[in-house]
Structure 1
Amino acid sequence: MSFFHYGLLAGVLFSVTACDDAKEVITIPDTGHQVTVSNQSLREARKGFSTHIIQKSFTDSGNLVTPPKDVYTLTSYPTKLGKMAAYVTPDPHDGKRHPAVIWITGGYGGLSDGEFHWQPQPRDNDQSGSAFRKAGLVEMLPSFRGEDNNPGSYEMFYGELDDIDAAYDWLAKQPWVDPDRIYLAGHSTGGTRVLLASEYSDKFRAYFSLGAVPDLKARIEGGEMMVPVPFEKTDDEYRLRSPATFIKSIKKPTWYFEGGEYYWKAFDNIAAFVKKEKIPLTINKIPNGDHFTIIAPVTEMIAQKILQDTGTECNISFSKDDLARISSEIE
């Protein structure tokens, strides 16, 4: 499994200022970066724009491993580009519709190390997403364009958002899934996809982002990437991949979690901004955790919150006691 490394820019601070034209700008000190908060939605901003992919980020690793039939089914879901591979927990055949989570893994390259998702993992670095299926939720692990022999090319936080929409559409049609209780969660690169997806679509009941970055340009220029950047490095390409730019787009309950060691201080300023604008995004810093140790306790608590979220509208919240419990469970 390859992991998204944040360390070099973890301490970068955003500040929010007003320009002469009254646009709100998020400034990244010591980098010369400025992110203008858009009044357009991310979906609106992408209309008429086509990303320019100039190189491959990785070589596809081949066919996926067939999972144990009582854990996942290897299947596919339709997209505009063609069918994409996915692991999905099997139909329990109990005649009921169940809440579901789409879990987006971190790193790069898809699900090619599939056994990782059903074999025991260390609690201090469990990126498998297994907490959801173990809690009895339906779980889907999709792969995206350019991964796992799927059509298309990896676009690094762009076209993959359309694939996430398509994964939701497919999952919502499954007879054992409650279409009104489908949630999106992910870690690291998956967490960045989740945060962007919350700005791109309001299909999901709620969104849970672990360890996302606020600004892709700052991340890329701040330290070595695990894979080559596939797109042409223009301002528009960066802007349409940076969650801080389209923070006003968020319409459904969204949560961000990160351990203190990897926490971007940018999110302190984003938290102040969303509070002022009444945007349903909550920022949670886990002081004694890091980018990996938070995953197990956070996903376990999210799973329990989802099981209890049975009303017409999402009623999930995380109290100070909840966050303290997460912190106390970090090894």
Structure 2
Amino acid sequence: MIRREFSTLHTLSIDDVLALRDFPIICGPQFEFDPHGTRLAFCVPKSLKDATRFFLSALGGGEGELGILDLETSEYRSLPAPDKLGVLSPVWSPDGSTIAVAATDGSFIQPAVIDVASGKMRVLIERNLPLPGTRTFFQWIDNSTLACELTGKNRPTLWLDIEKRGAVASAKAWEKAWAGREPTASRLTSDQPAADFETIELCSLNVETGQYEIFSRDSDLPARMESFRDRPEREFPPRCVGFGKIVPPESVLVASHPETDQSIYLVRSDDATRVIRLTAGEASTVFETDTHMGDVIPSRTQVLPFKTSAGQDAKLRCILPPDYKEGERRPAVLWVYPGFTVGDDLAHRQHLINEPGCFNLHLLAAHGFVVIIPSMPVEDERRGGRELADCLMDSALPACEAAIDAGYVDRKHVHVAGHSLGGWAALMLLTKTPFFRSGIAMAGTSNLLSLTDDVWFRYDSIPDDSRQAGTAENYYLTEPPWRTPDRYIRNSPLFSVENISAPVLMLHGDQDYVEIGQSEQMFAALRLLGRKAELVRYWGEAHVFESPANIEDAWRRILSWLEQSSPALSL
């Protein structure tokens, strides 16, 4: 680890976080050796600070830059994509002359190839690739034939569609309505089939002629396509190697070449992000970015055991402020997410200070708050367990008590916060105990009786049948609300809103598939009751904020809210 002179060091800022470069996880592997193991191709997306467009952080903003590193000479060569395009997940051809990549501008993801010698890129077919998770987008059948997956009927890639459909369609619809020359009626009928957005076809594509052949995934496939269909997945989320290895414990294996006994690790250390090559038992850094983190004073983390009120052994992770001194009791934020598990091993991206995006919890520690991240075991009502809402208190207060007993936390200044299902949990906990000084719910639900995911579908003539699947998956509510309304009410913070005495801050994007009305209903109820509440709506944002301006604004509001609710304590 490299640290600068003390006078240049500072605590983590939102600017530091926005300047970090991400490496996508669900867009295929981003590192690959050439067939001989002498060159490494990898994609590095631009940071939020440097990118020119912002969508779906899983794609790293869609402006990934392809680099080729000669492992024998250490020469690094950048192969920039054409204007307005970025690339993902490189795959070398068998002869090492060509690299297949997924090319994207944020509205599509299409198969493309890059000639290694010239650096020129060609999009092969104007058809959309689905996101492959941790598997590769492509598999070379031979030097001229590429196997890939395509979306059915060339629909937009699912997650890009979820992020953009509502906003794009609404803009078109309102323009027509204001012009007054075209009807904007959208008719739905009960016998209308729901659209299948996840139909996937297999494609064999000749990269020289552009000719291609389409196969159904469920058909009898040629052996070459069957091998591609059944290609292996990598572990998700990827696990850090842990302690006792040659590479740093936070390293993640991203590529290997067994024939030459080489491995490549991605390391998001406190002071930089590094690509490390391990060969012949020796490790060396071959690429480095995010070096500005060397000027940031790191926070200290502790893993503590605690016992849930249901008698289960569990653990929590505490992030302590950089200037924390033993014996001090600081204000704290309990960050909740039902089902989350804290372990001794290091999970990739799990609360690292070198974490891109909008959920870097070290920003809270940098402003003097202890962050408590507990394991939150839950029971599945479908298998005879209790309601999800009734499981939250099992771990929330015992985790806080463990941090208090350890001497880190002032019990009068504990806030609760969460995002998505964690936002719902934060609201639910506020209805069950007056322990928390305030609550912060981002993209949270409040009324499961009215929960719909219709922002994605609202401006098209497409029925939305996803509601029941979502409530079953997230809240274990397998029956519709007209059959078990009591269960929906018990799991909806809105119907216990009178029990909330603490101030509540809510943040929500209007394009979120967790509809913004969930936060609007809770805000209206708190306001009607005369309780202190604040709702901040972010226009154009989906479930996870993407705009750097909005990420910065949200953090400034969160920190201001916490500091006003827990003014500096005399220590």
| Residue 166 (1) aligns with residue 395 (2) | no
RCO (CA 8 Å, sep 6+): is it higher in 1 or 2?
A: 1
Larger mean Cα displacement after TM superposition, 129-138 or 236-245: 129-138
> In structure 1, how many angstroms separate the alpha carbons of the residues matched to 2:410 and 2:526?
30
Does the Cα contact within 8 Å between 1:135 and 1:304 map onto a contact in 2? Answer: no
Q: Report the CA distance between 1:179 and its aligned residue.
A: 1.6
Q: 1:109 to 1:266 in 2, by over 3 A?
A: closer
Tell me the equivalent position of 1:47.
none
Stretches of structure 1 lacking an aligned partner (at least 5 in a row): 12-29, 31-60, 314-331
Does the Cα contact within 8 Å between 2:417 and 2:439 map onto a contact in 1? Answer: yes
492, 508, 521: which one aligns with 1:242: 492
Tell me the equivalent position of 1:273.
525
Q: Report the CA distance between 1:133 and its aligned residue.
A: 1.8
Does the Cα contact within 8 Å between 1:71 and 1:118 map onto a contact in 2? Answer: no
Q: Report the CA distance between 1:114 and its aligned residue.
A: 5.5
> In structure 1, how many angstroms separate the alpha carbons of the residues matched to 2:534 and 2:560?
18
How many pairs align? 257
Which secondary structure state, in structure 2, belongs to the residue aligned with residue 192 of structure 1?
helix
Which secondary structure state, in structure 2, belongs to the residue aligned with residue 285 of structure 1?
strand
| Residue 291 (1) aligns with residue 540 (2) | no
Q: 1:206 to 1:76 in 2, by over 3 A?
A: same
Q: 1:153 to 1:72 in 2, by over 3 A?
A: farther
Q: Report the CA distance between 1:292 and its aligned residue.
A: 1.2
> In structure 1, how many angstroms separate the alpha carbons of the residues matched to 2:359 and 2:566?
27
Q: Report the CA distance between 1:228 and its aligned residue.
A: 6.6
Matches within 5 A, 1:305-324: 305-310=561-566
CA RMSD of aligned residues (A): 4.2
> In structure 2, how many angstroms separate the alpha carbons of the residues matched to 1:260 and 1:138?
31
Q: Report the CA distance between 1:265 and its aligned residue.
A: 2.5
> In structure 2, how many angstroms separate the alpha carbons of the residues matched to 1:230 and 1:181?
33
Q: Report the CA distance between 1:166 and its aligned residue.
A: 2.1
> In structure 1, how many angstroms separate the alpha carbons of the residues matched to 2:467 and 2:540?
24
Letter in 1 for 2:442: L
| Residue 77 (1) aligns with residue 306 (2) | yes
Tell me the equivalent position of 2:434.
202
Does the Cα contact within 8 Å between 1:260 and 1:289 map onto a contact in 2? Answer: yes
Letter in 1 for 2:492: S
Q: Report the CA distance between 1:266 and its aligned residue.
A: 4.6
* Percent identity between the two aligned chains: 17
329, 338, 342: which one aligns with 1:97: 329
Larger mean Cα displacement after TM superposition, 215-224 or 76-85: 215-224
Q: Report the CA distance between 1:161 and its aligned residue.
A: 3.0
Q: Deviations over 1:191-241 (max 9, x none)?
A: 000011111111011111111112234438626439475466433322111
> In structure 2, how many angstroms separate the alpha carbons of the residues matched to 1:292 and 1:153?
31
Larger helix percent: 1
> In structure 2, how many angstroms separate the alpha carbons of the residues matched to 1:128 and 1:311?
22
> In structure 2, how many angstroms separate the alpha carbons of the residues matched to 1:211 and 1:94?
36
Q: Report the CA distance between 1:174 and its aligned residue.
A: 3.2
Q: 1:128 to 1:243 in 2, by over 3 A?
A: same
Larger mean Cα displacement after TM superposition, 281-290 or 174-183: 281-290
Larger mean Cα displacement after TM superposition, 255-264 or 231-240: 231-240
Q: 1:267 to 1:90 in 2, by over 3 A?
A: closer
Which secondary structure state, in structure 2, belongs to the residue aligned with residue 87 of structure 1?
strand
Q: 1:227 to 1:235 in 2, by over 3 A?
A: same
Q: Deviations over 1:259-315 (max 9, x none)?
A: 1222422543443333222133332212243321156642453234434545599xx
Tell me the equivalent position of 2:132.
none
Tell me the equivalent position of 2:467.
222
| Residue 115 (1) aligns with residue 349 (2) | yes
| Residue 302 (1) aligns with residue 534 (2) | no
413, 418, 438: which one aligns with 1:181: 413
Q: Report the CA distance between 1:77 and its aligned residue.
A: 2.0
Q: 1:204 to 1:270 in 2, by over 3 A?
A: closer
Q: Report the CA distance between 1:182 and its aligned residue.
A: 1.1
Q: Report the CA distance between 1:159 and its aligned residue.
A: 0.7
| Residue 258 (1) aligns with residue 508 (2) | yes
TM-score, length of structure 1 as denominator length: 0.63
Tell me the equivalent position of 1:129.
361
Which secondary structure state, in structure 2, belongs to the residue aligned with residue 133 of structure 1?
helix
> In structure 1, how many angstroms separate the alpha carbons of the residues matched to 2:365 and 2:400?
17
Q: 1:296 to 1:72 in 2, by over 3 A?
A: farther
Q: Report the CA distance between 1:160 and its aligned residue.
A: 1.6
> In structure 2, how many angstroms separate the alpha carbons of the residues matched to 1:132 and 1:312?
14
TM-score, length of structure 2 as denominator length: 0.39
Does the Cα contact within 8 Å between 1:116 and 1:128 map onto a contact in 2? Answer: no
Q: 1:153 to 1:117 in 2, by over 3 A?
A: farther
Does the Cα contact within 8 Å between 1:194 and 1:209 map onto a contact in 2? Answer: yes
| Residue 138 (1) aligns with residue 370 (2) | yes
Say which one has the larger Rg. 2
Does the Cα contact within 8 Å between 1:132 and 1:299 map onto a contact in 2? Answer: no
Letter in 1 for 2:352: W
Larger strand percent: 2
